[in-house]
Copies of this chain bind each other. A is one copy, B any other.
Amino acid sequence: MKHGIKIVTIGGGSSYTPELMEGFIKRYPELPVREIWLVDVENGKEKVEIDAKMAKRMWKKAGYDVQIYTTMDRKKALQDADFVTTQFRVGFLEARIKDERIPLSYGMLGQETNGAGGIFKAFRTIPVILEIVKDMKEVCPNAWLINFTNPSGMVTEAVIRYGHWDKVIGLCNVPVIAMMKEPEAIKKSPQDLIYQFVGINHFHWHKVYDRNGKELTQNVIDALFEGKDIGLPANITNVPFFKEQIEQMQMIPCGYHRYYYRQEEMLAHSLEEYETLGTRGQQVKQTEERLFSLYKDPELDYKPDELSMRGGAYYSDAACECINSIYNDKKTHMVVSTKNRGAIPELPEDCVVEVSSIITGKGAMPIAWGKLPSAQRGWIQCMKAMEECTIEAAVTGNYGLALEAFALNPLIPAGQSAKNVLDELLIAHENYLPQFQAKIASLKAQGIQIKDPVVAKLVEEGK
């Protein structure tokens, strides 16, 4: 790591890259980056070049001597990397649109990290992340992998369990936003509060205390039901929780819990968007196009405000903070996806959980939570099992296990429609699912057609 840090960003052509740059620039005095490699695939070349130019302008403005490289040759980029961040999206936003629209065409939720969509994002991403780990073992065996490709928890678990790579931390912006917004909602400053989070990615709860150890969880619950913003990600509709339920649990759910605690309304909202202005992926596609047209402006040398409107805001900043904490052994409190180690004693000791952790020079040290009440325990055990089936199916291409994951997923009502969704998604994502090739061929031979016209067109166009 002499003469500064080498960062490699897989999926460098993401619209979040300027946020990442901003995060590194802000921390440069303590985090001396030497070079940043933006890696992408051939189809992402245009965007990564735009990002790279924008990045160069941002660094130039900041006055730091940091080199920005772009390449389609991942292994070359990884050579001697210190930190590898992953923000790639296999199949681009078109894949997300498929993940959303096919389930919705059968009347079920198709969110990109929850429901059938999340399962398929795992199916596409896990084989790629395992290839990245394979490369890292060869050319940068001491590097840290900071993943923020979703589904972040499952991707991180795949890296540890199947990639046998322990130097990995999975990130999520949801806890970041909560800890940013809640203090205001209860009229406290962030440094006055003690947080403890427990759960798995996009499925965690937390409690809050003041510096005297007095629990303020109920205060946040009150603020929530008074309509205050306690950190709902931009991509999640604000359906209210049931007050009696949240007060009974005395824990603050995350925004994504709406999909589980208010499934009916969240589905209705998604169906409405599906039938009118298009799914979130379709909306984001437009946002992204706007963003890249902004980025192209040779005068723009700072992160535009529009970026914050995306659901993933602060993800990249969290990545920079995490890298900073590792590099400087800052022992910061962050909520990350890491190996359980007993922190949630009722989940397997070696699975990945998302909990309050201390980020040190040796990585994340998870804080033990202890036993959960029945309901939270049951939910999280169910979700973890669903993740395990998904990850194993992603690695093996086992169709029966994919059916098991679908059946276990609380957002997918099991039955013929669910099977149709599974089958259509396999066909729609054919190009990115080598592990399922035999099954896909057999499904196509059966003449299975994709019902949703938007997706059918995308597939026809080879996207």
Cβ distance A129 to chain B, nearest Cβ, rounded Å: 20
| A262/B414 contact (C-beta < 8 A), A381-B385, A385-B379, A403-B244 known | yes
20 A-B pairs within 8 Å (CB atoms) are namely A167-B213, A211-B329, A213-B362, A242-B419, A244-B400, A245-B403, A248-B404, A263-B413, A331-B331, A331-B333, A333-B358, A339-B370, A340-B370, A342-B344, A367-B367, A374-B404, A375-B407, A377-B381, A378-B381, A379-B408
The reply to whether B400 and A264 contact each other, CB–CB distance below 8 Å, is no
Q: Please give me the residue from chain B that is nearest to A353 by CB atom.
A: B368
Complex Cα spacing A346 to B213, Å: 28
**Residue numbers in B under 8 Å from A379 (CB-CB):** 382, 385, 408
The reply to whether A265 and B416 contact each other, CB–CB distance below 8 Å, is yes
- Whether, in the assembled complex, A92 has its beta carbon less than 8 Å from a beta carbon of chain B, the answer is no
The reply to whether B361 and A398 contact each other, CB–CB distance below 8 Å, is no
**Residue numbers in B under 8 Å from A210 (CB-CB):** 361
Q: Which of A317-376 contact B (CB under 8 A)?
A: 326, 328-329, 331, 333, 339-345, 349-350, 356, 358, 360-363, 365-371, 374-375
Q: Which of A378-413 contact B (CB under 8 A)?
A: 378-379, 381-386, 388-389, 392, 398-401, 403-405, 407-408, 410, 413
Complex Cα spacing A378 to B342, Å: 17
**Residue numbers in B under 8 Å from A331 (CB-CB):** 331, 333
- Whether, in the assembled complex, A154 has its beta carbon less than 8 Å from a beta carbon of chain B, the answer is no
The reply to whether B400 and A212 contact each other, CB–CB distance below 8 Å, is no
Q: Interface of A with B (CB < 8 Å)?
A: 1, 167, 194, 196, 209-213, 215, 242, 244-245, 247-249, 260-267, 326, 328-329, 331, 333, 339-345, 349-350, 356, 358, 360-363, 365-371, 374-375, 377-379, 381-386, 388-389, 392, 398-401, 403-405, 407-408, 410, 413-419
Complex Cα spacing A257 to B109, Å: 23
